Amino acid sequence: MSSRNTIAPQHIVLAFSGGLDTSVALVWLKERYHCRLTAFIANLGQGAELDTAARKAEKLGADEVRVADLRGEFARDYAFPMYRANALYEGQYLMGSSIGRPLIAAAQLRVVEEVGADAVAHGATGKGNDQIRFEMTLAALRPDIMVISPWREWDLSSRSDLLAYARRHGIELDLSSGDRPYSIDSNLLHTSYEGEELEDPEQPAPEGLLFRVRDLADTQDEPETVEIHFQSGNPVGVNGKPLSASAVLETLDQIGRRHGIGRLDIVENRIFGMKTRNIYEAPSGSLLWHAHRAVESLVLDPEVAQLKEELMPKYSALVYRGLWFAPERMMLQTAIDFSQQNVTGDAILRLHRGTVQVIGRRSPHSRYDTAFATFEAEDVFDQRDSSGWLRVNTVRFRAGLTNGTATP
């Protein structure tokens, strides 16, 4: 794969969202290569904008538009495995965009097979994370496919250049948030916002920009309790109602939205080493993360739980860096999924004004034993036995003191 293609493609499948970058990319690709172009739109739950994107692709000159409903696959085969790992990038980010890109690229390759294309393209910038996530996936699944990255080929070097190009070519843009469009990505898990005024990390988001969850001042006065049911580490129902994988995310999204759950304003470290300011709204992901950990706390062996905590940052970094189809991620997933065999049960959460509080949990496989945990009189644990454990495990400190190496 190369950003400078010496062989002209005959048929390109472009991952298309309808935003500024992919709209300009579609027109530029048609101008540059004069070949057949299929616009591929992946439905990961972004909502009404799908129809708008499809009409836009046709208007901009796509020879064919393919829309794939990937919501169930996204939830079941991508989001849920990631949440079984309790994955957080840099301790905060739930990676709603990171986990979406491998699926889009994999589905894009399915379209390649269906239409007989010989090339794929994406609108990710040459300095961002998404180009890596797309192209790592493409390399893992179809290393021989021609990949065209317009941002690494054209002479447009900034968003201002793209806006000027769009004006010259009559490309309509959504300017509902201001004179210049922000970079916004939505799916069942989250909405992300970056660019424009958000590039100043000192300044709060402009009024009215964030639309997914309610501002705290607008949330309801009374708290709400929600119960999430898990089967082998996967959420399978909410408030006693069995639900499909995508319906779980949709239901939790609506519940979390009205309580202002999941808004996060962070400066994160991109793959190339630069820092970027992003705002995320992830109501469903936030609820799942808390609920899954609550059920795990009852079930996992203590040493397994500790090891899983140690593996999580590595697993999260792999997902963030686009290595979903890499063998090391799959190896870790196997270990994580082994730990999930008995993670079945319910977590009860209380939601109020942006906060999530675990107030109860239960599991038929619970290892919690009141006989051991109680502070009252019991006969299963002889407290005098602790003396031997402590004496053995403090040998190194007493030996150091004897040798004169201990420091105060």
- Catalytic position from the list 71, 84, 97, 130: 130
Is residue 339 among the annotated active site residues? Answer: no
**Is 320 labelled a binding residue?**
no
pLDDT digit string, tens, across residues 319-338 = 999 999 999 999 999 999 99
pLDDT value of position 401 = 66
11 forms beta bridges with 36
**Is 280 labelled a binding residue?**
yes
The helix, strand and coil proportions of the chain, stated in percent and rounded to the nearest 5, come to: 45, 20, 35
**Is 23 labelled a binding residue?**
yes
Report the C-alpha gap between 254 and 100 in whole angstroms.
20
Is residue 101 among the annotated active site residues? Answer: yes
**Is 74 labelled a binding residue?**
no
Confidence band, pLDDT 50/70/90 cuts, at residue 394: confident
- Is the pLDDT at 379 greater than 90? The verdict is no
- Residues of each domain in the chain carrying CATH 3.90.1260.10: 191-362
pLDDT value of position 26 = 97
CATH 3.40.50.620 is the classification of domain 11-180:
yes
| Residue type present at position 139 | A
- Catalytic position from the list 101, 212, 277, 361: 101
- Residues of each domain in the chain carrying CATH 3.40.50.620: 11-180
Q: What's the fold here for domain 191-362?
A: Argininosuccinate synthetase, chain A, domain 2 (3.90.1260)
CA atoms within 13 A on the CB side of 332: 25
Is residue 130 among the annotated active site residues? Answer: yes
Burial class (CB in 10 A: 0-12, 13-18, 19+), 392: exposed
Counting residues of the chain whose pLDDT is more than 90, the rounded percentage is: 78
Which has the closest alpha carbon to 20: 126, 120, 148, 163? Answer: 163
Q: Is the dihedral of CA 55, 150, 74, 39 positive or negative?
A: positive
Which has the closest alpha carbon to 42: 63, 73, 4, 10? Answer: 73
- Catalytic position from the list 183, 244, 297, 366: 183
Backbone angles phi, psi at 88, to 5 degrees: -140, 125
pLDDT digit string, tens, across residues 309-318 = 999 999 999 9
**Is 176 labelled a binding residue?**
no
- The stretch 55-61 carries a mean pLDDT of 94
- Is the pLDDT at 208 greater than 90? The verdict is no
- Helix, strand or coil for residue 282? coil
pLDDT digit string, tens, across residues 179-189 = 667 888 999 99
Contact predicate 332/402, CB 8 Å? no
Average pLDDT over the chain, rounded to whole? 92
pLDDT value of position 2 = 44
